[in-house]
Amino acid sequence: MGVPVSILLPLAGVLVGATAQYLFNRATDRHKRFHSERTAAYVDLVEAIAAVSIATQTGDGTSVASGRSAFAAAPARIAIYGSPAVVDELERFVEQGANLAIEGAQGAFLGALMMMRRETKAGIARSSALAALVYGQKR
């Protein structure tokens, strides 16, 4: 004597639904985790560059060394989690000397910063406002 189809179909539906929900949640969590790591990598890089820039302007040698140490680790995370567009903009920054005292490097870094904001859905901001925030001067 077999199990009635009227019992098996609902059970099969529940099983398929639960499996689909598990797979969807897993994919969503993976995407959220990656987005969170990318955002953290971007923030670490910007904080390190801002720290070096502002400490250099104020002549605080200890803070410059600390900022440079943080800056050494940040690009590795960008290399892993950063988008191709941000990596390309940061490459321009490095090619320009990776020094915010150089106008070409400032422009390249601000370009990367704009890309980071776009990717993290932070919206558009004026480059002069970003420059003032990041390295303490008007562009």
pLDDT digits (tens, 9 = 90+) for 12-70: 888 888 898 988 888 888 889 998 999 999 998 888 887 777 777 777 667 777 777 77
Rounded CA-CA distance 65/44 in Å is 16
Q: What is the pLDDT of residue 33?
A: 92
Percentages helix, strand, coil for the chain, rounded to the nearest 5? Answer: 80, 0, 20
Q: Mean pLDDT over residues 103-131, rounded?
A: 86
Q: Which domain holds residue 69?
A: 5-135
68-98: per-residue pLDDT in tens?
A: 777 777 888 899 999 999 999 999 988 988 8
The number of domains in the chain is 1
Residue with more model confidence, 41 or 125:
41
